[in-house]
Amino acid sequence: MNIMTNDKGGSGVKRARTGGSNSLGANAEIGRKLKQYYDGLVSEDVPDRFAELLSQLENAEATQKKD
Amino acid sequence: MAVAAGFKNDLLAAIPSLRAFAMSLSQNADKADDLVQETLVKAWDKHESFQMGTNLKAWLFTILRNEFYSQMRKRGREVQDSDGIMTARLAVHPSQHGVLDLEDFRAALEKLPDDQREAVILIGASGFSYEEAAEICGCAVGTIKSRVSRARSRLQDMLQIAGEDDFGPDAIAAQVMGSTAA
């Protein structure tokens, strides 16, 4: 804030702007990449073994109940 | 008590997220799928301890995370201490206009300490709140916040992300000047 009012040459303004856009821009890019990385994993095809496993667990329980 | 109807479908629906989280933690597809399998079996066995109406995804993530760390301990691998690790800079080319290659990003993420990686994934990608992430990791909200912030700055450091003004000696000089003036 003081830079804006005190600095007549303009270099201070440039420093402030550079610092601000840096950290914000970098964080935004990291956020985007994080989502891209994770969404790629989420949208992978799920192997059949998991649905089969759950069906086995379900069947095992049904058998237990009959006993 | 019988497993409630619908529970199986809820588990099925959660599998893609569980696999993504398991991959983020273990960085290995085979280990990740083993973790998911173990998580599903445990969730089925413990279904009575799940309170209907609460966040099933958070409950499952907690089980998976516990399984991950208990497997690591069994293998004798030290649980990483984030403060004890030096983050090496990756040999990546500073990208133009701050756009990163996904492979470079993946490699940098892999180099993060486990606790920082899981925190930044839970908050930045899985869509959990800081409170939920703290519950999943069994730690304080403030701990999650600081891990996320350290993870972000380490990623920036490793990937040497900088705004377009930052390339070249002029920018370095400007930063030095900036820091002494501040």
Q: What tokens were used for B140? A: 């304080």
Residue B63 has a pLDDT of 97
Q: With an 8 Å Cβ cutoff, is B94 touching chain A?
A: no
Size of interface A-B (CB pairs under 8 A): 109
Q: Does residue B179 have a pLDDT over 90?
A: no
Mean pLDDT of chain B: 82
Kindly determine whether residue A25 and residue B166, on different chains, have CB atoms separated by under 8 Å: no
Contact A38 B24 (CB under 8 A): yes
Task: For B7-45, write each residue's pLDDT tens digit.
Answer: 999 999 999 999 999 999 999 999 999 999 999 999 999
Q: What is the ipTM of this complex?
A: 0.76
- Flag residues of chain A having pLDDT under 70: 1-24, 65-67
User: HSE-up of A56 (CA within 13 Å, CB side)?
Assistant: 9
Three-class secondary structure assignment of chain A = CHHHHHCCCCHHHHHHHHHHHHHHHHHHHHHHHHHHHHHHHHCCCCCHHHHHHHHHHHHHHHHHHHC
Which tens digit of pLDDT belongs to each residue from B80-107? 544 444 444 444 555 555 556 889 999 9
pLDDT of residue A19: 40
CA distances from residue B151 to A16, A46, B110, B124, B166 in whole angstroms, order as listed: 24, 29, 11, 11, 21
Q: What is the pLDDT of residues B54-65, one digit of tens each?
A: 899 999 999 999
Can you spell out the DSSP letters for B22-72?
HHHHH--HHHHHHHHHHHHHHHHHTGGGSPTTS-HHHHHHHHHHHHHHHHH
With an 8 Å Cβ cutoff, are B155 and A61 in contact?
no
Distance of CA B181 to the CA centre of its chain: 37
E strand or H helix at B141, and its extent?
A: helix B141-159
pLDDT for the residue numbered A52: 96
Q: What is the pLDDT of residue B54?
A: 86
- Could you tell me if B5 lies within 8 Å of chain A, comparing CB atoms? no
pLDDT for position B74: 85
pLDDT at residue number A1: 44
pLDDT greater than 90 at residue B70: yes
Tell me which of A27 and B1 has the higher pLDDT: A27
Question: Measured between alpha carbons, how far is residue A16 from residues A3, A7, B59, B175 in Å?
Answer: 8, 11, 44, 10
Which residues in chain A have their CB less than 8 angstroms from residue B2's CB?
61, 65
Quote the CA–CA distance of B110 and A22 in Å, as a whole number: 24
- A54 close to B12: Cβ distance less than 8 angstroms: yes
Q: What is the pTM of this model?
A: 0.75
pLDDT by residue (tens digit) across B124-158?
999 999 999 999 999 999 999 999 999 999 999 99
